Amino acid sequence: MSKIVTRLIITTTLLGALGFLLFTKIDQTPYHQADFYRNTLARIDSLAQRLKLQQQQLQELQQRQIQDLPQSQKQSLQQVPEEGPAEEPAQPLEPVLDAPGLKAGWGKVNITPPQPVRLTGKNFKPYEQVFDSVYVRTFMFDNGVNRVLMINYDLWIMHPKLANAVRNSIHKAFPEVTGIYFTANHSHTSIGGWASGLLGSLVVGGNSPETLEFIIGQTLNSIRTAQRSLDVVRVGFGEVSTEGLVTNRLDQNGHIDNLLRVLKLENQRHELAVLNTFSAHSVYMDKDINTLSADYPGAYLDLLEEQETINFAAFAPGATGSHTPIGRKPFELKKMIGYSRNLAGYFSDLQGKIKTQNTSVLKYVELPVDLRSPHFRISNYWRFRPWIFQKIMGEMHPKITVIRIGNTVLVGLPVELSGEFYPELQSFCQQRGLSLMITSFNGWYLGYVNPERYYFTVSSAETREMNWFGPQNGEYFVELTKRILDII
């Protein structure tokens, strides 16, 4: 055998071994047949038992509180139905009673750093100007059984390392908290410097202990503000269809979730707080001008809080996995402000029509989710092996987080779910007398999930670079969400 042939055999063998080490086929096993599916479903029963316990504890608390009331207040106290759509018309607020009822408070604190830091994904350069400040906004909910925080950041994502650090600090400072629900507004021009590892270095400015501690400290301050403002609230939900603001960037003929959804809270001091969700990505701001901004949601919230009737406003992305704002290119600040103003116009048309009612319903659960092995995809049917993904991205242990407030259910997902899934989930909720608000970036991040029909037919970031867990992942999360909604 000649030296050339020997070298060829050795080279071929080495390349084959290297290929086997680095690459494998995409797993197309139907998720219903997989162990990760069965393992996750096995946890649903324990969630149902936990919810039953919460309900039992609330009923016992209500009975004790009612027994302690003077006879005159017992006669005037009306029990609020636990299920079904909101009653109408809403009645004027009654004086505060020492009786069962949901309390809520809210707080907003600036997280713009004292000195410029690198923006998310900005080539290691700190921002040169500030278009608008970025904030952490906190809702605190308490019904005497549960005390739940909903914490909303003007950040790109809620990275697990940041979420874990915040959780640990909250549990030390507020041990009475029974649940924490995270969201982020997904601004691509917000502050970085709060995540370690390769991913942290590449896209969120690396690991800056000063920035991390600053965010944690301001978060705790926002919680203290929310706690000081706790008061009995009435709760309402509304939604309105918008026109000309959002489009489906994967399929121009696909469904567009164009609804602005609003959760409305009215306390005994006649103060109003609102949580908004909308499916258009927060990518209106031009990333190349090196400017700190909360993107269009920041300008939108400013417009809402300028209204005399609104005391506090927050924004969380809805099902953003395939939806983007219309008309954002070429970028102009006045165009972005105009976009926010148009969205605020829809809010103004809606908010006065949202009727509120008393409730004592506050439920919170977390569902740990097992997954198919992760990968970086290189073609329709081939991927890098999972160990490469895990080396770069780290281990992922996501959860679905859920809050029920009255008859409104907030579902926090660790994925960017396509808006094309929303009608199925919304119909499922409506059949049970519930209203649905999907939010993203709940403290874990698993990339995009879109309908399976796009997985092999559309070559885009949403189906390739940012789709890490194979086909059917969207359908998997939709089924898990429906199963939780069925017991909440």
pLDDT higher than 90, residue 109: yes
- In angstroms, the Cα distances linking 68 to 93, 200, 268 are 22, 54, 21
What does residue 32 show for φ and ψ, rounded to 5 degrees? -65, -20
Across the chain, mean pLDDT equals 89
pLDDT higher than 50, residue 441: yes
Is the model more confident about 320 or about 394? 320
- In angstroms, the Cα distances linking 333 to 183, 313, 369 are 25, 22, 40
User: Mean per-residue pLDDT for 41-54?
Assistant: 91
pTM score, whole prediction:
0.91
The pLDDT of residue 100 is: 56
Q: How far apart are the first and last CA of the chain?
A: 72
- Chain-centroid distance, C-alpha 50: 23
Q: For the chain, percent helix, then strand, then coil, each to nearest 5?
A: 35, 25, 40
Where do we find the tokens 């939010």? 439
Other CB atoms within 10 A of residue 185 CB: 27
SS3 of residue 208 by DSSP? coil
Is the model more confident about 369 or about 86? 369
367-385 pLDDT, tens digit per residue, is 999 999 998 898 888 888 8
| β-pair type (147-153, 135-142) | antiparallel
pLDDT higher than 90, residue 35: yes
pLDDT higher than 80, residue 306: yes
The pLDDT of residue 72 is: 61
SS3 of residue 264 by DSSP? strand
Burial class for 282, CB neighbours closer than 10 Å (0-12, 13-18, 19+): buried
User: Mean per-residue pLDDT for 440-457?
Assistant: 93
Where do we find the tokens 């026109």? 243
User: Mean per-residue pLDDT for 135-161?
Assistant: 96
Beta carbons of 62 and 28 less than 8 angstroms apart: no
The pLDDT of residue 465 is: 87
